[in-house]
Structure 1
Amino acid sequence: MKILHIINNLGSGGAEKLIKDTLPILNKKENIEAELLLLTDKNNVFAESLKKQGVKINVIRADNIYSPINVILIRKFIKNNDFDIIHAHLFPTLYWATLAAKTLFNRKFKLIFTEHNTHYRRRDYILFRPIEKLIYKEFDKVISISQKTETNLIDWLGVEKKTKFIIVENGIDIQQFNEAEVYSKKKLCSTCNLDNIFITMVGRFSEQKDQKTLIRALKQLDNNVHLFLVGEGKLLNEHKEYVKNLNLNDRVHFLGFRNDIERILKTSDIVVLSSFWEGFGLAAVEGMAAGKPVIASDVSGLRKVVKGAGLLFEQGNEKELADIINKLIKDDNYYNKIVKKCVKRADNYDLDKMVDSLVTTYKRLLLKK
């Protein structure tokens, strides 16, 4: 079985990380050969990791990922290869891969798309709806990473739930996070010591993630509490200025993109996600697997993962978030109780189980030929 995954690039987002984790495992499965097609060779932070694990990466080197010329480039690549499955991810690959496939007559491959989020800006504009109804109609299978992701998609398209829509929840390498080596606290903060409390949030700096609520919560906490923000993004400098204006420069640490997230989480005391929305909340599961109490905003995507194990707060409510953090810091028994529940919850999201679900989906589709 030859499988081609297509995505814009291998930037530092959750969908890109999922591809980085998934493809090497797929290639270890019997009679499966999976490779990757990227629209651009820019900002491919996970590419080296995949290459080292033997995953073939193809790049069409588009000057602009939003240019319709990508339809021709993708079509040419697919036509010159013999794939059984084409599996697309993210916008605008969503459009270009669909149009490329539609213009290939007598195609034998099956076309799949994974929906990675509960909300996109396109859905704020009703003019996109008829276009997207036509686009999604072309897929043989549409995978959503959570129930809320699927519900929002079906509501947006205005279609009935059909067998082509399925849910395959994200997974992570549980062992990688559970057994990660702890850094000394001075490794992450040269001015810190063992008594300092480390809070970490992993996520790109975008409107979606809302690190500002967490930064405001830090302002209400004792001075021995430090915040580590892992990630890059277009709003990074804006957040640095925000921290400066709140006089928190000595307590907020911007770590940028990191390949050692599991060790950073293992060294942390508390993991927080303050997002406006999430498709799934992979970073929450990673925090749980690292054996840390996870606090998340009570929004779709995160609620399903965290509720009943970690702790939820009203999105944007920095006072409630600060109160929850303080309780964890001051009550060791409560802290350990939450950690125990988080570790148990993480076991539900094992990467191998997720890949097995994907393989089952692929095989069932091919049987319909």
Structure 2
Amino acid sequence: MKVLHLITSITMGGAQDNTLLTLEKHNSSYEVHLASNPNGFWQERAQKAADVFHPLPNLVNPLSPLQDIATLIEIVRLLQQEKFDLLHTHSSKAGILGRWAGKIVGIPVVHTIHGFPFHDFMPKWKRQFYINIERSARSFTDFFITVSELNRQEAAKLNILNLDNSQTVYSGIDFAKLDRPSNLQHTRHTLKIPEAWQTISIVGRLDEQKAPNFLIDAFAKVLENHPNTLLLLVGDGKLLNSLKSQVQQLGIADKVRFLGSREDVPEILKVSDVFALSSLWEGLGRAMTEAMLIGKPVVVPNIYGIPEIVHHNETGLLFPAKNIEQLAQHLNYLLQHPEERERLGNNARQLTRQLFDANLMVQQIEAIYDRVLADIKKKR
């Protein structure tokens, strides 16, 4: 089978990791191509994972009418030239343009919703605009994959997908990467974590979606009770400079580490006492899932797919998005109670190890491909 995976970017992120891991673990009988904007942290990984990599330099975020039209033309030409058996689109921009191109060419399309491009904190007109765009591509999609069942049900309510041609496939993670031997003392030394200090970590893009500014505000409150604590921020993004200004203004710059994008995320999670997120919207939260797989307690917002696996006071602690006070309270509680960190972390590990195996994810995706192609063959 000849398959093209199409994603907007290959920057470090959950959707990108999911897509690249799928490419890396596809059945050897597959001829797997990848098309994306060629610039990003995982450029080398993307080129190794795909049998053929097709750069789409005009595929960018956010909306850019001239570049979007150019990209649509490029995708149509690519589909016509390569004659793929199936197109698998990922993320919102690539998902829309790819599905429109698939309709023009007449190729079966599977689309994965890694997260919604809209959220409750944007203006209502803008939210509805994005919902309408997603609806426009629904009839061009042979099958939908969501990374959580809550997302699938929400998408169905919004008429973005139909339940009868959709399925939840949890975003698999490579356990071998998480379980590799680690010298945690070396990691602490490299990160300059003082002896006996506690650490809170966040992994993700430094942007409006992840909203790390709320976590920084909460962390400033945590330091009032736990001064010997560090906050580790892993990731890059356009908010970097404003976040650095924020910690300076709060007078906590010596307690916050901006670590950038890194390949040693599992090691950083292992030396962390608590993992936290302050996102405004998420599909599910891949870095959060990795922390849970490692057995770390998580403090995360009660949004979208997150409560599907973070059950409050069982596998983690939840708080309302933007609620800095409750986020700080949960962090204080876990720093104060190591036995609770251990209990929640163990429960989280037990649950997620059953659901997020990468090999199972790829098997489920390939079964969907077979089903889509078989259904189309029956109709002919």
Q: Name the TM-score, length of structure 2 as normaliser.
A: 0.88
1:32 corresponds to which letter in structure 2? Y
Contact 1:23 1:55 survives alignment (8 Å): no
Asked if 2 retains the 8 angstrom alpha-carbon contact of 1:288 and 1:294, the reply is yes
State the match for 2:359 in structure 1. Answer: 352
- Check conservation: 1:313, 1:321, Cα contact below 8 A: yes
Counterpart of 2:369 in structure 1: which amino acid? Y
The residue matched to 1:80 in structure 2 has which SS? Answer: helix
Residue 301 of structure 1 is matched in structure 2 by 305
Q: Which residue is 1:154 aligned to?
A: 156
Q: 1:151 to 1:212 in 2, by over 3 A?
A: same
Identity of counterpart residues, as a percentage?
28
Please say if 1:19 is aligned against 2:19: yes
Matched residues in 2 for 1:126 and 1:23: separation? 33
> Which residue of structure 2 aligns with residue 80 of structure 1?
81
2:187 pairs with one of 184, 194, 218: 184
Is residue 346 of structure 2 the alignment partner of residue 337 of structure 1?
no
Distance 1:253 1:355, change over 3 A: same
**Aligned CA distance change for structure 1 residues 54 and 154 (closer, same or farther; 3 Å):** closer
Larger displacement relative to structure 2 (149-158 or 293-302): 149-158
| Alignment partner, residue 272 of structure 2 | 268
1:227 to 1:127, Cα distance in 2 relative to 1, 3 A: closer
Task: Output the amino acid matched with 1:41.
Answer: P
Q: Is the 8 A contact 1:284 1:302 kept in 2?
A: no
- 1:285 offset after TM fit, Å? 1.0
Matched, 1:363 2:364: no
The amino acid of 1:366's aligned partner reads L
Q: Specify the alignment match of 2:46 in structure 1.
A: 50
1:198 counterpart SS class: strand
**C-alpha distance in structure 2 between counterparts of 1:301 and 1:64, whole Å:** 26
Q: Quote the Cα distance in structure 1 between the aligned partners of 2:191 and 2:179.
A: 19
| More deviation, 262-271/243-252 | 262-271
- Please report how far the alpha carbon of residue 54 of structure 1 lies from its aligned counterpart in structure 2 after TM superposition: 5.8
SS state of the match for residue 143, structure 1?
strand
Q: Equivalent of 1:320, from 288, 302, 326?
A: 326
CA–CA separation in structure 2 for the residues paired with 1:245 and 1:336: 34
2:249 is aligned with 1:252? no
Query: Number of paired residues?
Result: 359
Tell me which residue corresponds to 1:91.
Answer: 92
Which structure's residues are more often helix, by fraction?
2
Aligned pair in 2 of structure 1 residues 56, 237: CA closer, same or farther (>3 Å)? Answer: same
Which whole-Å deviations, capped at 9, do the CAs of 1:340-365 have from their partners, x for residues lacking one?
11211220211111111101101111
**SS in structure 2 of the partner of residue 76 of structure 1:** helix
- 1:64–1:332 CA distance, 2 compared to 1 (3 A): closer
**Superposition CA RMSD, Å:** 2.2
CA distance in structure 2 between the partners assigned to 1:325 and 1:125 by the alignment: 32
Cα distance in 2 for residues equivalent to 1:318 and 1:328: 16
1:230 aligns with 2:226: no
Task: Report the CA distance between 1:302 and its aligned residue.
Answer: 1.5
CA distance in 1: counterparts of 2:132 and 2:344, whole angstroms: 45
State the SS of the aligned residue for 1:223: coil
Separation (CA, whole Å) in 1 of partners of 2:59 and 2:330: 47
**Cα pair distance change 1:35/1:217, threshold 3 Å:** same
Q: Distance in 1 between matches of 2:245 and 2:165?
A: 46
Paired with 2:269 and 2:181, the residues of 1 have a C-alpha distance of 9
1:250 partner SS: helix
Q: Residues 186 and 157 (structure 1 numbering): CA distance in 2 closer, same or farther, change over 3 Å?
A: same
Determine the structure 1 residue equivalent to 2:118: 120
5+ long unaligned stretches in structure 1: none
Q: Distance in 1 between matches of 2:301 and 2:171?
A: 19
Q: TM-score, normalised by structure 1?
A: 0.90
Q: Deviations over 1:328-347 (max 9, x none)?
A: 22323222212211211220
In structure 1, the residue matched to 2:58 is 62
Measure the CA separation in 1 of the matches of 2:6 and 2:102.
12
Instruction: Give CA deviations for 1:285-333 in whole Å, capped at 9, x if unaligned.
Output: 1101222111212222211121131222232233322332233223232
Q: What stretches of structure 2 of length at least 5 have no aligned partner? A: none
Q: Is the CA contact (8 Å cut-off) linking 2:118 and 2:127 kept in structure 1?
A: no
Q: Counterparts of 1:101 and 1:288 in 2: how far apart (Å)?
A: 37
